[in-house]
Every structure is written in C-alpha cells, then in structure tokens.
Amino acid sequence: MTAVATAPTVQAASEGAVKTKKLVIIDYSGELEKTWATMILTSTAAAMEMEVSVFVTFWGLQTFVKDKKRITGQNWMQKMMSFMQRPGASHRHLSQMNFLGMGPWMMFKLAKKYNVSKPKDLLEMSQALGVKFYPCQMTMDMFGLKREDMIDGMEEPVGAATALQLMTEADSTLFI
Amino acid sequence: MGNLDIKLKVDASGLSCPLPILKAAQGVKTIAPGELMEVIATDPGSVKDFAAWAGSTGNALVESDSADGKYRFVFRHK
C-alpha cells in the first residue's frame, strides 16, 4: 500500500469553520454537452457544500421542461419552436456533430460504457442536494411555458435583476 | 491503517467523476459528527478530487492509500 492524497488545505479546513462559497450558473444554451457540464458542476458544488443557484433562461429552459411534454406554448409560433426541438432534459441536441440524433445516441452509449451519469440523473441529484433552479419569467412568457410544463422542485420564476444580484454576491459565476 | 472504527463504507468502484464525490456527500450525511466514513474508488482523478472535497466541506481526510488500482479514503464527519 502506498500513501496518496496529502493536501495541505485539508488540515487547514478541518480546523475551523469553513465559509460557505457561492456558485451561480446562468444556464443559457440548452445544448447537450453544455447542459452536461452544468449538471456536473451543480451537483459537485452542492456535494462540496457550496450554495448553488442556477438562473435558467432562453434555450436552457427547454432542459427543465418535463421529459414527457411534447409540444409547449399557446400560439402557433411557440408550438412550432417546441416541435422543432423536443423539450426535456433527455432530449438535448449536441451543438456539433448532432447528425440527426446520432451524436447524442453515441454520447449516451459512451457514457453508459464508462459509468458516467446522464444530465437528467445529475439534475435530479443536484435537486436532492439542494441546488436552486430559478426559471427566467421573461423567457417563459416568450416561449409560452407554464409552471406545470416545468419539472417539479424549481424556484419561483425571477428576472434579470435577481440574476444580477445572485451573480454579484457569488464567489464564482459561469455563463453556460 | 489499523483498527479504525469505520461507521459507513461507500463503494464507488467503477464510477466516473463526479459520482464518487456525490456518493461520499450523500453518505457522510447519514453518520454523526466525529464518525468515520470509508470510500473506495477506482477513478484516478478522485485522489485530488477527494482532497478538494475534504478541504471544501471540512470533513477531514484522516487516512488514504491505494492498492491494485483501488483508492481508499477515510473521512471524519465534521
């Protein structure tokens, strides 16, 4: 047996109270690989006992629509938008090499082979670990999304001012 | 090594980042402050990751070693 992992920070941190660090993510893109990165970071940050808030806006909102919803929106344009790309955490497209779904299919195959959790699982773990997801009211209105279209456990919808307040008070902010 | 009083064993063998950390975080909540949790992982990245996790959460890494591609960590719940 050989010794591993001797980090000086461990000792220092274990001696006194650790200040709670705050992470804010603006979840904007809704693309598969970026959503994956978001969910890895939110779940891990929460596991590291950071306070994590995610402002969900524009295409990011599509990730948080219930998987079983097929068409969302009230008018034909909003419905058309949801028809062109199916909403839900399990139906994200890749930004590159999507190839009509071949790319995501291969990504999920590889993830399974290497025991990597899917974005949907990591999203559920994030929620269980207390990550707060704030939907953007303005984009919800624009896409015609209702609260009942969205997954359970999200915070009340907020606006840009709340997002900015979260960002200025955070130790780290990411726009993904 | 020796005769540590391990309260909880978490097996994260075969799991990729960030699952070993998530399993440890879930596990440590189930034991009382001062009690020990042992985590086994096979992800080489988990060595540095668990040091970072201990530093961030304050759950002290009291022992760690590796053998045959397995990494073992013992944490004391803060």
What CATH number is given to the structural domain containing B17?
3.30.110.40
* Residue B69, domain member (yes or no): yes
pLDDT in tens, B51-67: 999 999 999 999 999 99
Q: Report which of B39, B1, B4 is spatially closest to residue B22, judged by C-alpha positions.
A: B39
Confidence of residue B2 (pLDDT cuts 50, 70, 90): low
Say what the ipTM of the complex is: 0.87
Angle at A128 between CA B61 and CA A146, to 5 degrees: 150
Q: Which residues of chain B have a CB within 8 Å of the CB of A118? A: none
Long-range contacts of A94-100 (CB under 8 A, 24+ apart): A94/A31, A94/A32, A94/A33, A95/A29, A95/A31, A95/A32, A95/A33, A95/A34
Q: Has B25 been annotated as catalytic?
A: no
* Residue B65, domain member (yes or no): yes
**Cβ within 8 Å, pair B17-A46:** no
Min distance B22 CA to chain A CA atoms (Å): 6
For the cut 50, the answer to whether the pLDDT of residue A60 exceeds it is yes
Q: How many CA atoms lie within 13 A of A81 on its CB side?
A: 16
pLDDT in tens, A25-37: 999 999 999 999 9
B72/B69 Cα distance (integer angstroms) = 10
Domain count, chain B: 1
A6 Cβ contact partners less than 8 Å away, ≥ 6 residues apart: B51
Q: Could you tell me what percent of chain A has a pLDDT over 90?
A: 80
* Residue B1, domain member (yes or no): no
A96/A49 Cα distance (integer angstroms) = 33
Q: What residue of A is the nearest CA neighbor of B49?
A: A5
Min distance A6 CA to chain B CA atoms (Å): 7
Q: Which CATH number fits domain A21-175: 3.40.1260.10, 3.30.70.100, 3.40.50.720, 1.10.20.10?
A: 3.40.1260.10
User: Which domain, by its residues, includes B27?
Assistant: 6-76
What is the maximum alpha-carbon separation in chain A?
66
Confidence of residue A61 (pLDDT cuts 50, 70, 90): very high
